[in-house]
Amino acid sequence: METFAVQPRDTTCHTLLYASHHAFRRDLDRLAAAAAAGKGRAAHVRAGWENLKEQIRLHQELQDRWLWPRVERVVARRAERAVLEEMRADHARLAPLVARVDAAMGAGAAGEGGDLRAAVRELREALERHLRHEETSALPLAESVLAEAEWQELAAESRGRCEAGTPMFVPWVVDGIGPVERSRFLTSLPKPLRELNRVMWEPRYRKRRLWSI
């Protein structure tokens, strides 16, 4: 596996991508704790899991349809193209692991025992490998080859999804993070999105009490 050591750009899109990674890890820790406590089928845990699945899907879709094709157009080395192929393969490998957690959560009492714990553990391990791979290879590669205008285009696509179809994203990212990290993330967003989050998205998100058991 080749790595590409590049100083990350301070872009909204860059912030969104890495913030998502932190939130994936946080939610899988919550799910693992619920499964260990025998509460994997609690309503708020299941709601948290449904949201996590959707956030993983949207994250992968943004990368597979927007980010990686743009990187692929401008890279020439075999090692660089191999990194992008590995990203797609990682996404494909995660799908059955997500489905296994789904099946275990729907398996009644048995799903709250070893089956669910094992399924969550396997997904956590696979997702962690993928995120580390992405953070050390794919995202630095993208940072090294994409022009500022392309990052702005990708950021605009991300913001459009937040406004139009995924109002859960911003409050989901800042759920439970420290005040410094919260401020850094929110100030990376345009003011209209920050206001939408303050007056609408985050209050609605908090009322759902995801993961509260």
Domain architecture of the chain: domains with CATH: 12-208 (1.20.120.520)
Give the orientation angle of helix 12-36 with respect to helix 43-62, to 10 degrees: 150
38-72 tens-digit pLDDT: 999 899 999 999 999 999 998 998 899 889 999 99
All residues at 6 or more sequence positions from 82 whose CB lies less than 8 Å from its CB, including other chains: 2
pLDDT digits (tens, 9 = 90+) for 100-110: 999 998 865 44
- With bands split at pLDDT 50, 70 and 90, how would you rate the model's confidence at 2? very low
Q: Label residue 160 exposed, middle or buried (CB < 10 Å: 0-12, 13-18, 19+).
A: exposed
Structure tokens of 124?
Answer: 């956590």
Q: Residue 15: which pLDDT band, with cuts at 50, 70 and 90?
A: confident
**SS3 at position 210:** coil
For residue 212, the model assigns a pLDDT of 87
pLDDT band at 16 (very low <50, low <70, confident <90, very high): confident
pLDDT at 155 over 80: no
Cα distance between residue 183 and residue 201, in whole Å: 16
The per-residue pLDDT for range 167-212, each reduced to its tens digit, is 788 999 999 888 998 998 898 888 888 898 999 999 999 999 999 8
Question: What mean pLDDT do residues 132-146 have?
Answer: 92
Q: What pLDDT does 7 receive? A: 39
Query: Given this model, what pLDDT does residue 134 score?
Result: 94
The model carries a pTM of: 0.86
Residue 61 main-chain phi, psi, to 5 deg: -65, -45
Average model confidence (pLDDT) across the chain: 85
* Residue 6: predicted pLDDT: 38
Q: Taking a C-beta distance cutoff of 8 angstroms, is the pair 174, 206 a contact?
A: no
The DSSP code for 109 is G
Q: pLDDT per residue over 110-135, tens digit each?
A: 444 568 999 999 999 999 999 999 99
Asked whether residue 4 carries a pLDDT value surpassing 50, the answer given is no
Residue corresponding to tokens 């989901």: 172
**pLDDT at residue 162 tops 70:** no
**pLDDT(93) > 70:** yes
